[in-house]
Chain A
């Protein structure tokens, strides 16, 4: 079974990109390969023009892991100091503690920190080498709403200074709210890549719903732009690229009532593109070239 199959990814400096996909889509596998924790069976991974392990040993790439990865019997400050000692050059310990918002709990044992505090500690560790690329695997899993917002505001401030951030998430809202770019993964392949608006438009078109007795499916399906027609009793549900034409037809040529037009949101795009049917090939920006 392939977790990841032919992912080509090019990230620009200062970009915040989200790897979005359901569980098992290959998000963690992709991040592991970028970090040198896993190797592709075929092909290669290049990070900033070098191998992942060379980039990691120069502190060019750092990561915030999903869970674990911390020693419970060290204090927050000791964990940061220890990690700092492993880099040839690192940002000052006090500075990263402050930027991650954990100066106040520096003397606390890691085992006594909350999930959110541990996540900030992981973020602090990732800040130490001043990396060009920071990879975050499900960084806000288990955080409350406020913790999540604080965490992302710190990440955003950071990216504004030129750091590239790649994060994996299965929270749609998180990708929508915080990423400049969304890379939608499904069964180890990129099925969409673009801004939130662009990804949304891949599932473009709208739904038109109406109450209509004795609807004629063939006629409705024949209208311009219509992709599917569903009839449930007196209700019809039409997926279309041209909602105006459908609405005009329904209101002028039929006895349809209660006509509703609903725009698709990112969630529809997400469900549409990551459902278990064979992968659709989106028309714009599918399979962007060059390697990350």
Chain B
């Protein structure tokens, strides 16, 4: 340990507080690099949706509005699933940080909780974007046909779903211990997907499932993402579903976050 380097404790009045609560690009860049280092999470969130798409796209017999529309609709559903899986996993990474005491360490820095949450959501959404992009590239190679505007619009809307599920992931990350957070999230996401009509068009599901569907957090986002493709009447309850679920998960996450940062 060197003694040559100078230190001077500066006068207290000179000290400033960082703007934006500590949100900065260095932090974001290091968090992204850290995510990429976590190869298993990245691989799962990119590969699983692609495999699902390749398995489900051949259900031509089930097509409601023609073969091409069905393939495109399935692709959008799978892209929403990918965004959901990626963003939830990204958000749930906070459970590891809690277990390691990193959240506590950050509390003795000027970082504000809101800035920390914003970074976590951005990183989760970035992973969501990757997942959507990969599904769309595979879809295009596989011959899915849509107008260029529909490709872009549905892609953006499917990606927007990751905001809702980043909140869900944070909620789960603060609720569950790190050892089994993904084991619990996996089945929950499967239920959300199946009952929300991501994998199979709702019209083909049993009527009980069709009754449950509108209450699933996936229902609104999937319906909105498919709207540019399907057209017709825009149902405002879709938007309501997105807003209510996002707010509910975000509120639950912030309650648990506050509980978490108190010392027990």
Contacts and interface: CB of A to CB of B under 8 A. Distances in A.
A100 to B, nearest CB: 7
Contacts of B18: 57, 86-88
Interface in B2-18: 2-3, 5, 7-10, 12, 15-18
A69 B104 contact: yes
Contacts of A162: 8-9
A38 B262 CA distance: 7
B24 interface: yes
A257 B207 CA distance: 101
B104 A87 contact: no
A59 B16 CA distance: 9
B109 A86 contact: yes
A56 interface: yes
B1 A86 contact: no
Contacts of B33: 78
Contacts of A131: 9
Interface stretch (B59-67, B95-103, B232-240): B95-103
A161 B7 CA distance: 7
A37 B24 CA distance: 24
A84 B109 CA distance: 9
Given A69-B104, A163-B7, A56 B2 contact: no
Interface string A27-42: 0000010011110000
A72 interface: yes
* Most chain A C-beta atoms within 10 Å of own C-beta, residue among B15, B97, B100, B106: B15
A68 B17 contact: no
Nearest to A89: B16
Nearest to B22: A86
B110 A132 contact: no
A15 interface: no
B30 A82 contact: yes
Given A37-B107, A71-B100, A101-B1, A161 B16 contact: no
A46 to B, nearest CB: 13
A67 B101 CA distance: 8
A255 interface: no
Interface string B10-45: 101001111000101011001001100110000000
B258 interface: no
Interface in A128-160: 130-132, 150, 153-154, 157-158
Q: Is the interface of B mostly helix, strand, loop or mixed?
A: loop
Given A81-B30, A130-B9, A162-B9, A69 B102 contact: yes
B12 A132 contact: yes
Given A59-B110, A82-B27, A69 B15 contact: no
A63 interface: yes
Contacts, number: 126
A163 B24 CA distance: 28
A87 B7 contact: no
A58 B24 contact: no
A73 B37 contact: yes
Nearest to A126: B108
A95 interface: yes
Nearest to A63: B108
B26 A85 contact: yes
B111 interface: yes
A69 B110 contact: no
Contacts of A62: 108
A38 B104 CA distance: 11
Nearest to B38: A73
Interface in A114-128: 125
B12 A81 contact: no
Interface in A84-99: 84-89, 91, 95, 98-99
A265 interface: no
B104 A74 contact: no
B3 A157 contact: yes
Given A58-B15, A81-B30, A154-B1, A72 B100 contact: yes
Given A71-B34, A89-B15, 18 more contacts: A49-B12, A56-B108, A56-B109, A57-B18, A59-B110, A68-B100, A68-B105, A70-B100, A70-B102, A71-B97, A78-B33, A86-B109, A99-B1, A130-B7, A132-B12, A162-B8, A163-B7, A163-B9
Interface of B: 1-3, 5, 7-10, 12, 15-18, 22, 24, 26-27, 30, 33-34, 37-38, 97, 100-102, 104-111, 262-263
21 contacts: A37-B107, A37-B108, A56-B108, A58-B12, A58-B15, A69-B101, A69-B102, A70-B105, A71-B100, A73-B34, A78-B33, A82-B30, A85-B27, A87-B109, A88-B15, A88-B16, A88-B17, A88-B110, A99-B5, A100-B1, A161-B9
